Amino acid sequence: MIRIRVIFDLLELPIKVSNGTEIISEALSHIDFNLEQFLLFLLLRFHKEKNMKRRNKIVLLILLVFTFIPVSGFAAETTSGVDSKNYDWNPVMEAIVQVESHGNNRAKRGSSVGAMQITPILVIECNQILKRRKSKKRYKLSDRFSLSKSKEMFLLIQSNYNPFNNIEKAVRLWNGGLNYSVQRTQRYFEKVMNLLKN
15 and 55 inside one domain: yes
Q: Quick: pLDDT tens for 60-109.
A: 666 656 665 544 344 433 333 345 567 899 999 999 999 999 999 999 99
Higher pLDDT, 133 or 16: 133
CB 11 within 8 A of CB 58: yes
**pLDDT above 50 for 11:** no
pLDDT of residue 60: 61
Q: Tell me the C-alpha distance between 165 and 62, whole Å.
A: 33
Q: Quick: pLDDT tens for 185-198.
A: 999 999 999 999 98
The model carries a pTM of 0.59
Q: Quick: pLDDT tens for 137-156.
A: 999 999 999 999 999 999 99
CB 123 within 8 A of CB 141: yes
Q: Tell me the C-alpha distance between 161 and 156, whole Å.
A: 9
The amino acid that residue 88 corresponds to is D
- Asked if the structure places residue 85 within a domain, the reply is no
Q: What SS3 class is residue 49? A: coil
Nearest to 155 by CA among 103, 96, 85: 85
Q: What SS3 class is residue 160? A: helix
Percentage of the chain lying above the pLDDT 70 cut: 57
- Asked if the structure places residue 143 within a domain, the reply is yes
Give the range of the structural domain holding residue 66, as residue numbers without chain letter: 2-80
pLDDT of residue 24: 45
Given 53, 80, 107, the domain boundary residue is 80
Kindly list the distances between the CA atom of residue 122 and the CA atoms of 67, 71, 108, 165, in Å, as whole numbers in the listed order.
Answer: 35, 30, 15, 19
pLDDT of residue 34: 44
CA torsion sign for 95, 177, 86, 190 is negative
CB 69 within 8 A of CB 31: yes
7 and 32 inside one domain: yes
73 and 149 inside one domain: no
Geometric angle at alpha carbon 173, from 172 and 178, rounded to 5°: 135
The amino acid that residue 68 corresponds to is F
15 and 110 inside one domain: no
Q: Residue 133 sits in a domain of what CATH number?
A: 1.10.530.10
CB 116 within 8 A of CB 93: yes
